[in-house]
Amino acid sequence: MNWGNKLLVAFVVFAGMMSTLVYKAINTNFELVEKEYYKSELKYQEVIDGTQRANALSTTVQFSQTGNQLALLMPQEMLNSAPKGKIWFYCAYNAGQDKHFELKTDEAGKQSFPTDAVPPGNYLVKLTWEKDGLNYYAEKNITVQ
């Protein structure tokens, strides 16, 4: 094989490798924690204040799993008050598994979820709620099986 053919083969191999690289770069999925991360960064002081308020309560938010039920138990100070809020099951490795729920506790401060509503995996549960005009925030790491 003469030098012209070798040069042509080298160019074709190089072009093929570059095309593969470009194809993979275009089809890479970049998942962000939040789509509007800049807006949430501006409101982060509310998270800090809410965390301090939640830590000052007599007990922390508790999660438990029994059978096919996942249960949330609010602190003693939140009983009989029906606080308004949101629950976010944040899955760090797959945004498709993230789940959002409204906080709807009963008089005992408990809320149950069927385990089929939340796919199995490791989650950081972010809970925000409001009572008497004060915002609260808590995070818990849980594993749903």
DSSP annotation of 29: -
Residue pLDDT, tens place only, 89-136: 998 888 888 999 999 988 888 999 888 888 899 999 999 999 888 999
Question: Looking at the predicted structure, is the pLDDT value of residue 75 above 70?
Answer: yes
When pLDDT is averaged across residues 44-49 and rounded to a whole number, the result is: 88
Burial of 45 (0-12, 13-18, 19+ CB in 10 A): exposed
HSE-CB of 129 using CA atoms within 13 angstroms: 24
Tens digit of each residue's pLDDT (9 = 90 or more) over 13-25: 999 999 999 999 9
Q: Tell me what pLDDT residue 107 has.
A: 84
Q: Tokens for 137?
A: 């925030």
Q: Helical H runs in the chain?
A: 3-26, 37-42, 44-55
Would you state the pLDDT for residue 65?
87
CA distance 26 to 75: 47
Provide the pLDDT confidence category of residue 40 given band limits of 50, 70 and 90. confident
CATH number of the domain within which 42 lies: 2.60.40.10
Same domain, 8 and 62: no
Q: Which domain holds residue 91?
A: 37-144
**Count of structural domains, the chain:** 2
> What's residue 32's pLDDT?
67
- Same domain, residue pair 127 and 83: yes
Q: Provide the residue count of the chain.
A: 145
